[in-house]
């Protein structure tokens, strides 16, 4: 049995032998976070386990309401009335990225971490971390397909959603052969790719699309066209739904000749969120880490305090050092 197969077996055994689980993921949960957390919950429910899915986010994102278990997600409040005997944490490289639910984690010897980000903090005894995986849902699939629970349209749609989201509809450079093999299997169990794509990528309201249009109309090029920046100031972001605008990060790479794209938005006065995208020559994880963030080679993010325009210049200077 290979080392990887042993990891799958250990995590499966852990989920079958333990009970009273906390299932959680990163703050500002995205499609992979929702899909992987709820797929784990689906397995636990099928096994008759006690569990809570607890997110830092204070509102469930409406566009994921088509997913099984969406209505089971709880938002953390303090004090929290429950304690847990085991935990499964998905799509999270550090406890800080969990947000407030990190306070609910039991001891590391009864924690599992499943993630495809670079290993930054070891807070669990059982780790399935693979940066070559396109998504955490890909890794959760590899565990659950080795279990005795049958796949149906609900579980398949959870996993397909996470893979489709994190691969950008199977178009990002992290997309690999295994994604298509898994996708084919999930479709065989009733998943409808067009339905999921509509939920994930084509369900914006008209105000959000107008804001996206403002970002596109004001994009700027730097470093001889190798860097494209989309910036939205506070007065625009105050009336926008932040999660509806994430696609702007991908649009920043859509210009011919661009190597690195930035989507910078001022979330609060002198506090910005930055999404980085790269076509391959620049490791944006390294760039983001300079500013206290992180992520993947081709997709990363950070949050920083300070003047947004000054921060933009500093980020561009850091990118220039890598180009």
Q: Which pLDDT score is estimated for 90?
A: 98
For residue 240, give the nearest of 286, 201, 213, 208 by alpha carbon. Answer: 208
Query: Are residues 162 and 119 part of one domain?
Result: yes
How far does Cα 284 stand from its chain's mean position?
Answer: 16
Query: Are residues 183 and 166 part of one domain?
Result: yes
Query: Are residues 245 and 126 part of one domain?
Result: no
Boundaries of domain holding 175: 3-201
Please state, in angstroms and rounded to a whole number, the distance separating the CA atoms of residues 118 and 132: 10
Query: Are residues 166 and 77 part of one domain?
Result: yes
Query: Are residues 228 and 108 part of one domain?
Result: no
Query: Are residues 251 and 221 part of one domain?
Result: yes
Query: Are residues 263 and 155 part of one domain?
Result: no
What's the total number of domains in the chain? 2
Query: Are residues 238 and 169 part of one domain?
Result: no
Q: Which pLDDT score is estimated for 120?
A: 87
CATH number at residue 212: 3.10.310.30
Q: Which pLDDT score is estimated for 322?
A: 86
Query: Are residues 179 and 41 part of one domain?
Result: yes
Query: Are residues 246 and 168 part of one domain?
Result: no
Q: Which pLDDT score is estimated for 240?
A: 76
CATH number at residue 172: 3.90.1640.10
Q: Which pLDDT score is estimated for 238?
A: 84
Q: What is the 3-state secondary structure (H, E, C) of the chain?
A: CCHHHHHHHHHHHHHHHCCCEEEECCCCCCHHHHHHHHHHHHHHHHCCCCEEEEECCCCCCHHHCCCCCHHHEEECCCCCCCCCCEEEEECCCCHHHHCHHHHHCCCHHHEEEEECCCCCCCCCCEEEECCCCCCHHHHHHHHHCCCCCCCCHHHHHHHHHHHHHHCCCCCCCCCCHHHHHHHHHHHHCCCCHHHHHHHHHCCCCHHHHHHHHHHHHCCEEECCCCEEEEEECHHHHCCCCHHHHCHHHHHCCCCCCCCEEEEEEEEECCEEEEEEEECCCCCHHHHHHHCCCEECCCEEEEEEECCHHHHHHHHHHHHHHHC
pTM of the predicted model as reported, rounded to 2 decimal places: 0.91
Q: Which pLDDT score is estimated for 73?
A: 98
Q: Which pLDDT score is estimated for 295?
A: 86
Of 201, 220, 249, which closes a domain?
Answer: 201
The ranges of the chain with pLDDT < 70 are: none
Query: Are residues 221 and 103 part of one domain?
Result: no
Q: For residue range 291-322, what is the model confidence (pLDDT) as tens digits?
A: 999 888 899 999 999 999 999 999 999 999 98
Of 144, 178, 201, which closes a domain?
Answer: 201
Query: Are residues 153 and 180 part of one domain?
Result: yes
Of 135, 170, 201, which closes a domain?
Answer: 201
Q: Which pLDDT score is estimated for 280?
A: 78
Q: Which pLDDT score is estimated for 296?
A: 87
């Amino acid at each position: 049995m290979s080392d990887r197969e042993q990891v799958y077996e250990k995590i499966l055994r852990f989920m079958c032998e333990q009970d009273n689980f906390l299932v959680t993921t990163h703050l500002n949960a995205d499609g992979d976070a929702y899909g992987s957390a709820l797929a784990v919950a689906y397995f636990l429910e099928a096994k008759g386990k006690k569990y809570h899915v607890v997110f830092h986010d204070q509102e469930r994102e409406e566009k994921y309401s088509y997913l099984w278990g969406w209505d089971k997600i709880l938002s953390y409040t303090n004090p929290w009335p429950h304690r847990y005997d085991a935990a499964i944490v998905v799509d999270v490289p550090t406890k800080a990225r969990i947000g407030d639910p990190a306070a609910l984690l039991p001891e590391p010897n009864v924690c599992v971490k499943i993630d495809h980000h670079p290993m930054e903090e070891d807070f669990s005894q059982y780790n399935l971390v693979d940066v070559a995986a396109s998504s955490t849902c890909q890794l959760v699939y590899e565990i659950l397909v080795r279990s005795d629970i049958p796949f149906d349209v609900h579980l398949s749609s959870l996993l397909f959603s996470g893979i489709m989201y994190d691969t950008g509809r199977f178009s990002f450079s992290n997309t690999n052969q295994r994604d298509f093999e898994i996708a084919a299997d999930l479709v065989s169990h009733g998943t409808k790719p067009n339905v999921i794509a509509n939920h994930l990528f084509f369900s914006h309201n008209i105000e959000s699309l107008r804001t996206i249009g403002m970002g596109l109309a004001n994009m700027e090029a730097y470093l001889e066209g190798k860097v494209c920046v989309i910036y939205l100031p506070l007065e625009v972001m105050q009336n926008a739904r932040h999660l509806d605008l994430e696609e702007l990060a991908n649009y920043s790479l859509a210009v011919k000749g661009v190597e690195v794209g930035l989507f910078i938005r001022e979330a609060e006065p002198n506090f910005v969120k930055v999404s980085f995208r790269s076509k391959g020559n620049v490791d944006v994880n390294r760039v983001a880490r300079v500013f206290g963030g992180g992520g993947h080679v081709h997709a990363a993010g950070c949050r920083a305090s300070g003047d947004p325009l000054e921060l933009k210049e500093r980020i561009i200077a850091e990118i220039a050092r890598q180009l």
